[in-house]
Amino acid sequence: MSAIAREVKRVTTHQLQEMKNRGEKISMLTAYDFSMGKIFDEAGIDILLVGDSASNVIAGHETTLPITLDQMIYHASSVIRAVRRALVVVDLPFGSYQGNSSEALRSAIRIMKESGAHSVKLEGGIEIKDSIIRILSAGVPVMGHLGLTPQSIYKFGTYAVRATEEDEANKLIEDAHFLQSLGCFAIVLEKIPSELATRVAKELTIPIIGIGAGGGVDGQVLVSHDMLGINKEFQPRFLRVYANLYDTMSGAVKNYIQDVKSNDFPNQEECY
């Protein structure tokens, strides 16, 4: 096969916009390493998010707050080495962009330069305006994130559904319009009533990606460890579990242990 025939067309922010325009839903999953990145990319996922949920599902922390910029860059560069087609978005971790816009720009540039990622995601609305403007002005595409923003968990005090009250819903609608006017290429809406998310997706021209935000938005994102059934403890209502990898992996490991203990492994064919 020639190099040209093997060339895969990369998903761009422009193509995501075209998908919204023609009503084609956008698929997005989290990935944190080379092997998972390769499987998801070759399966045809549109967007891979190197999420700060790595802090939970990879490092075992209770929240997303402890993960560092260096750790995010390590995960992102591992994913990038595997990906041929998907657009790769990387979360700016807690503490790397809220302080001031110069620091936000420095953090975004480090991610782009050191990992080779294609865009960054920031949590928040009008309160992080200066950071978003600064990052966009350097030519780095920005994805917004509103609703349940896990980096603010100690402000919320709970992971319950957000924006169920009118004031918070109005602020979310205002923030979504504001992020679009700044130039964000898409927005994630997490764990909000589906009616509200549908309204935002209808009012805005940019793609709206939901997680626990119903089916009226332009695309869906899930944490891969949750939808693959690796992490069995987290089973919110919005999650659809597509595999039971915990049991599959556990079964394989138990069989291996048994084969080692019984001297069944390695056999003649498995020796030099």
Interface residues toward ligand KIV, by CB under 6 A: 30, 49, 51-53, 91, 188, 190, 211, 221, 223
Long-range contacts for 243-250 (Cβ within 8 Å, ≥24 apart)?
A: none
Q: Distance between CA atoms of 175 and 183, rounded to whole angstroms?
A: 13
Q: How far is the CB of 237 from ligand KIV (least distance, A)?
A: 15
Q: Which of 24, 42, 174, 190 is catalytic?
A: 190
Minimum distance from residue 123 beta carbon to ligand KIV (Å): 8
190 labelled catalytic: yes
Instruction: Give the tokens for residue 3.
Output: 């190099």
Neighbours of 207 (CB within 10 A): 26
Q: How far apart are CA 189 and CA 256, in angstroms?
A: 42
Residue linked to tokens 């995601």: 121
CB of 93 to ligand KIV, least distance (A): 10
Q: How near is the Cβ of 107 to ligand KIV at its closest, in Å? A: 16
Q: How far is the CB of 162 from ligand KIV (least distance, A)?
A: 13
How many Å apart are CA 20 and CA 90, to the nearest integer?
Answer: 21
240 backbone dihedrals φ, ψ, rounded to 5°: -105, 125
Using alpha carbons only, how large is the chain's radius of gyration in Å? 20
Give the integer Cα–Cα distance in Å for 122 and 69. Answer: 13
Token pair 């928040």 is found at 124
Name every residue whose Cβ is closer than 8 Å to that of residue 94 and which is 6 or more positions away in sequence.
52, 64, 65, 67, 151
Q: Cα 4 to chain center, whole Å?
A: 30
Token pair listed for 95 = 């503490």
Active site residues: 190
